[in-house]
Amino acid sequence: MSESHPWFRSQPSAAEITRRLDEFSSWIELDLDHLSFNLARIRERVGTEVEVMPVVKNDAYGHGLVPITAHLVGEGIRWVMVAKLLEAERLRASGIECEVLVMDVLFTGEQCDRVVEQGLTMAVFTEEAALRLDAAGRRQGRVAQVFVKVDTGLRRVGVHHELAPDLIERIARMPNVRVAGVFSSFMQHPDRDREMLERFESVCAEVERRGVEIPIRTMASTNAIFHDPSAWLDMVRPAMCLYGVHPFDGDTDAGLELRQVLSMKARIEYVKEVVKGDSVTYFGTFTAPAPMRIGTLHIGFRDALPRELANKARYGVGGRIMPGVGTVALNHALLDLTGTDAAAGDVVEVFGRDGQNSLRAMAAAAGWMVYSLMNHLSPDIPRVCCRGGVPVALREPGIA
């Protein structure tokens, strides 16, 4: 099965990916059909007049920056958002030419030149930053594209909403800068968000009253996609929901069906028999209450498993859910295999797509936000992309 973006044509064959899988002690599987499903549901929810700009920062929330973005562009996505200039440059180096909004800060003229040369869009909220991009555009005979970030109350970064109209007007007058959009972020506090949206809309209305066009107005991320249609404006910025995750319990009642994109698997490294009274792994936090079969996975909190899952993790083994036992070490985790015929080399589902070992369930067991769990997935774990159950792409960690 082929993918529509050219990046996928450079990938190994399904047979070669399957062969390489035999070498991995752990890997992450990405169901691109689920990603397409979630994107379609989001588009249906917000309607055809609202554009969707996926957030693919932090390695697409642990899923894999390049394969996820390439697939989304193949699905007709025009814009994506990243946090770092390095992420945007990786997309360009991979031949991905969609619009990329970069949230990073630029410290040198060389960085500004690279941004303009590669056709990237920078988030700005000071006149100085815009002037440096204007100068870079002048040096290259091009126009630098920006989104202006407005602080409507989050007080993280952004031009204060009362000062924003003047700044946006000044930036719009710069000969080598184009204001492609204006954006802000919610606090995700129901009482505060309403006021923040009103401030943002007031800024945009004042700027347009002065004759400055704002092509794109955007505030809504996953939370507002779930709960506040009035905040969708011209564009929404999904992240967690795009990857098939409802971050909080109330989100599941929002009427947006999602399918988790990611699962993580690991091979059993070793199986041993322990007798009643034996303790396992560090600190003796688990003592066998009876004779047991214990399996070891070569995966730990370096890879994504929170240490707080000690004696709380749940793993999929041959269609059954089996408990984790003992502490989660840097590179090892143990699980109960009693009553199974699982052996070394067999595959265990570490994170499933639903049930007791889904991302949400495992995060809850650890006392973590699922957002944190996803964003701690190690980039050193290979990512395998599948369509219709067939591998179509493989991202392996580089050797340096």
Active-site residue flag, 282: yes
Residues 6+ apart with CB under 8 A from 278: 287, 288
Using alpha carbons only, give the angle 29, 96, 186 rounded to the nearest 5 degrees: 75
First to last CA, the chain: 32
User: How far apart, in whole angstroms, are the C-alpha atoms of residue 286 and residue 283?
Assistant: 8
Q: Phi and psi for 113 in degrees, rounded to 5?
A: -60, -40
Pick the catalytic residue from 270, 272, 276, 282: 282
Question: Are the C-beta atoms of 114 and 90 separated by less than 8 Å?
Answer: no
Find out whether 293 and 336 touch, Cβ atoms under 8 Å.
yes
The one catalytic residue among 57, 149, 243, 265 = 57
Tokens in use for 288? 């066998």
Q: Residue 206's closest CA among 232, 173, 169, 247?
A: 169
Active site residue 315: no
Helical segments of 179-311, H only: 190-209, 222-227
Which of 200, 204, 141, 220 is CA-nearest to residue 172?
204
The answer to whether the CB of 238 falls within 8 A of the CB of 255 is no
Contact 187, 154 (CB under 8 A): yes
Angle at 43 between CA 42 and CA 47, to 5 degrees: 120
Exposure letters 283-306 (e unless 16+ CB within 10 A, then b): eeebebeeebbbbbbbbbbebbbb
3-state secondary structure of 200: helix
> Which of 102, 146, 137 is CA-nearest to residue 116?
137
Q: What are the residue numbers of the active site? A: 57, 282
